[in-house]
Structure 1
């Protein structure tokens, strides 16, 4: 990062004298300082004059020699001990450190120290660090490195930031599908949009300031030169990446960050890989005049979403051919039948037949569910027990599935899947397992293990196997599926989550379990960010952290889950309820509201006696016993768990 013209680097031997002279000059009236500075020795006067001008805001600091570090390994800064220097920038050093005092002893953080050391740090550099602290305190976002702590140690300001283990976004996503890179870029846009909503500019957006962790999560770093919108700030920029107005010294706006984001996108997708539409998006984001760029980050994000959805982008002029191509791509499945008639090839006919079979499966599934719930007769003996009535009806429909198998195995497969899932949510692990096993066996015999449908059926089977406690069968199935599944994608992410659940039941160490969960999160984030398993994996990580006593990490993880669950496909109310109960168990603000919402979701879906929410509800009863034993015991009776007398 560059900050205008710089003087020759200062001799470290000069710093003690310069610091004393600087303090003395500040004690003089402003109109007497220049005469006093001019009387100083020739080796001191120029640097002292530059330092005073920088302090008063009229000039930039002289360069500080990097040979004099701001910190040393083993040094104590506030409650932290410095471990190793992670990087040196134009204004500060970043050190890896660990907390050695307080309730979070052992926590890893990144400590940022202004360069120059001693009382020099109390001048303009120290002031910038204090300003950065004020900015970061207002930024609370999952894709922005969090500010944990800040202070001044022996006159030296410092910041303790979230430790982000990762690689620059261009390096981390190299070789990934373009769609995965664009989805990750949307995380960056969301972080910058959050900052802009709080009137904060980043002003130095580049790949080096955007890291991707092992969990696939993007983290935006270094608001060191950020300034409140419409406030005056230093002329600081990275050569070759800065917007034209930055290089001219003009006022900065949100358009400055839009320019930086365009540069990040250009680095993520090399020219040879860009479509015409993506080229136009980058060109608009990086337009020379701020008024020719996207009006804000929201507008840029909207065009990225259009790219992902194969819709025309706003950045490309209205061209009939381009818009027709987008329409055809979006309508490729509905047009398969027409294409088959026009082209007349066997391949097109096969595709059309496949589409018809898929439509028939979907239609049969919808009819099956509709018929099932229409048949819940209020006059039946079990009308007051809807779960029992649903089990009875499912058993009756099993004969229909058996009759369908010989003539229409595809439709029968879909009905087996639905029935197994319904039994799972009714808590009937035995029946769910039997149906899922049959489905997997039939598909494996008919299509083979290499077919995605067979692999999907195998992953559907793993959950009832785990629910029934058959760890040997679970391990055998995962081992069978492992070499057949692709290295990446939704099924691999689900496999990793299932592997974690198995290893948890086998008593695996927390480190192994966390590695599996983070690998699963990376897969979901890259290839299936809206899948319901993505949120479920964050919940599992939160529960693991909570068991380790890592409350802050547990709370951050469950908040990630809650940020995903309502947009998840499919939305699962019971998962949402478990996440709310987990957040409440951590003592987060609004715990009572979270508990009430969780109970409302459960009562409206699977009820309070579903086996997969039993543990969370038992913990809720235990917490309520101290406040209201009567209400706690009533909840325990409804949920079928131990009441206050049985609570520890």
Structure 2
């Protein structure tokens, strides 16, 4: 028979273990199913099963050739093994058999469980496992782990381990026999967690956790057994590598309790034991194993473990299960729902990164449940998830009341159903009443034929929710949800009212954690409106109420502090905050979770802000891998990763690459999210700004209509203001300003802070700079100077944001040059160059672009040699940033040629029009 590879051995090992788990009368039908399926491993499996049958035949054993640890015959009751005399068998596994034994040499007369390696397992592939169990147990000393008393080899060559004899029964059988309720069962399970906490602290993975290895003694104490296939996570050996022992002897496991990564033969970590613990707890609480294969066909169980999400434990309850827990089905379902379902769901996540990161964290949630506190597995909250959903499926400001009513229906029905599941009839009735009242308000007949806008309908709902009496939880749910939707459609002021009401209610009820979350949500809103100092105060207040081990809350605090630090130009502090946020997100939600990816996205922005663009691109790629791994990510999350790449390339100054990356992603974004989606619009804006830098007029003319077409559909406030700035700036670059005077008028009002919107100062500054450039291009230097008057260019204490300060210096130089004052123009250019160099670095394309403007000014002053030196130094970097065929680079190359000719004494016609480089 031809040799087979490692994957086939893995498959064969799983089939062999599955066959041994079947009763003798079930095995023939199972094998026949394999035969009908044409399984290529069938013949080898039959040979292995036959070999096992023969190996259990005493006469055949006597005929076997000697092993590396020979022993004559098979041990019988009364046989002496070393200093122990065996009395009766306690059990047998794939590697060893266990006997009740007592010392027979005058030593302590205590009963021990004597573990003997199977004779046919005593070769080089399995004897080391026996030795490893001895070494592992020798290093573990915990009252909930069966102790190792002695180890050795008998005179006949039998390797043995003398273990603590545990007179007990499997944890599930013990709990059922005593009809323990949920609290009693979880208290028992807590002892298991303490034992595994000790094992993991000593770098030991158990790898075979199941009820048969978790016994409970008559006095109610748990004892953890059988570290026969445990694995050491030695510091010098990566947990991702198979040992030679594993490669030779295969991966033993009990499929029903094995983690998906064990089934797949992937690298193991402590998360694998967490999964097995989750299976045990699931069975302990609802009487069933979590995986439902739905078929007896070979491999169905493995596929279920790897692919099928288990049903919540609360949905597996029947009368028999409830009776064994001293309860009624309805009451048991209610007790399991929400908190325990969430805890089990996190422990049983298919992706190890989404499980509890350690037994410590699982234990912490178990302790919270026992103390009557909310478990962290419930985080993120339902409304936080709803907010993220709304962010991924934005309906836009133009959402009509009919569409909104549909969304309100779904939200309210979900609330009603959730409350009904808890048998809270009064709350369900209140939710229904709220919904009907909202429909009445949406009815045009009630409003004299006028259809309410989305904002009006949501604000009506907010007022109704605030007026609810005696339904605190429903009131909080409704206010929180309405505030989230208002925030996502850009209705910041009304969203703030809903958030402030939630905060007031949380503080009234003494809910410190809930109040802290409400403060953070309000801080996010205030930040979006430019109230950075107020946002920082709210975050600080929330932080004062956060427990150090509340990783969800600590994630939110660190993330918001990161964005606040980034806004204020404190990039190192922002990076440190985002790194902390990433650590907390991984613990609370898992590595490949949306919060962890959000923290990573903040981190890459902070790194890019520090000029470490290659590192930022590496973080973009790292986020992409996590997005692809995470099972619950949407097209928005994947396209958000595309945007991050474009953003880093743009900030790096690689404008050609940024524009190309945006063009590549744009069709997918428009198709999957819609052209007016925030992600698509932000990416389009970066594409236009890249084209502006390259002076790509035809590209601007081709893409501008896409932005102008969605301007009125952008959320009011910051997003709308940013879109307007880029649109008008692009119109200037494309030479099409006169086609859209209404946009210029809107921008002028925005620059004067007369638009009626509360906008961050930086947006008003950017608007004023674009207006100054527009007037300059029109030949109105005085008007350009007026728009620049808001910039305190000579007073650093009152200076605007660094990036606006640098850009203002450049525009200021253009204005002085247009006015004929070359001395002041040079001073302004030198100041702008220093600002850009300090901000971005001397080799950044934006800084090099300023040096081109200076070179052109030097040419006009007859200082051609100085100008040529600047152009020669700038062109290599600009070739990469702009591309050699871009209009901006061709103009720069022409400037270089003219300076070179002039320096060489070649007469040229004087250039009357200055060269402006963005």
Greater relative CO, 1 or 2 (CA 8 Å, sep 6+): 1
Larger radius of gyration: 2
Tell me which protein shows more helix as a share of its residues.
2
Q: TM-score, normalised by structure 1?
A: 0.45
